[in-house]
Chains A and B, each alone.
Chain A
Amino acid sequence: AQSVTQLDSHVSVSEGTPVLLRCNYSSSYSPSLFWYVQHPNKGLQLLLKYTSAATLVKGINGFEAEFKKSETSFHLTKPSAHMSDAAEYFCVVSEPYNFNKFYFGSGTKLNVKP
């Protein structure tokens, strides 16, 4: 079975500084990997996805993530945080041949200080 570990439950950064949200996964296959963002009392919105093409994936709102197979990691980064980035972020893994199986990390709450 696959699993997803988000290493930090809370991350706090100052506006204009870099963001790093960490995600590690375990998988027996070549997984598909996703990052979603959830603003308070809203649903989850897709930020970016990795599907075995380029290992550096660019998403919306200036976010990007790098797939590192040797480290089984898929960390999310952004060069400069904005106040509107304050939200909860979820790392998600899916099995390549099982369309109904998605494994969610426990989430990382990002706080952005003025």
Chain B
Amino acid sequence: DVKVTQSSRYLVKRTGEKVFLECVQDMDHENMFWYRQDPGLGLRLIYFSYDVKMKEKGDIPEGYSVSREKKERFSLILESASTNQTSMYLCASSSRGAGANVLTFGAGSRLTVL
């Protein structure tokens, strides 16, 4: 069974802390994504990566950075967490083949910043 695994399901951090959210996929997908999901705002793209060491900003990159040192792993970094970054974070991956590029999602990481 193919999987996208997010290392932490629930995290509680304090304002100003550095936060790492890890995501690993076992499907050999080229593309990986980080979204945040908030009530009433839907899913918003933070960053995506189409190859190792490659990244592009999504719609809301401010306050976040990412790292993709290996094809299977895509990390989201909050350099200095703030309360407005309390949210559900969803990692996804997709292939770059022809046809529909289906997003496969992880189970999500719910972050609370106090």
Contacts and interface: CB of A to CB of B under 8 A. Distances in A.
B114 interface: no
B55 to A, nearest CB: 11
Interface string A26-38: 0000001010100
Interface of B: 4, 6, 31, 33, 40, 42-43, 45, 48, 50, 56, 88, 90, 92, 94, 96, 99-108, 110
A49 B110 contact: no
Given A41-B110, A99-B50, A106 B31 contact: no
B90 A105 contact: no
Contacts of A106: 40, 42
B22 to A, nearest CB: 15
Contacts of A51: 99-100
Given A90-B43, A99-B50, A100-B33, 15 more contacts: A32-B100, A41-B88, A41-B108, A43-B4, A43-B105, A43-B108, A44-B92, A44-B103, A44-B105, A51-B99, A94-B100, A99-B31, A99-B96, A104-B42, A106-B40
A112 B42 CA distance: 22
A40 to B, nearest CB: 10
Contact of A49 (B6, B43, B96, B102): B102
B29 to A, nearest CB: 11
5 contacts: A36-B103, A42-B108, A43-B4, A51-B100, A100-B48
Given A41-B110, A99-B31, A104-B43, A46 B102 contact: yes
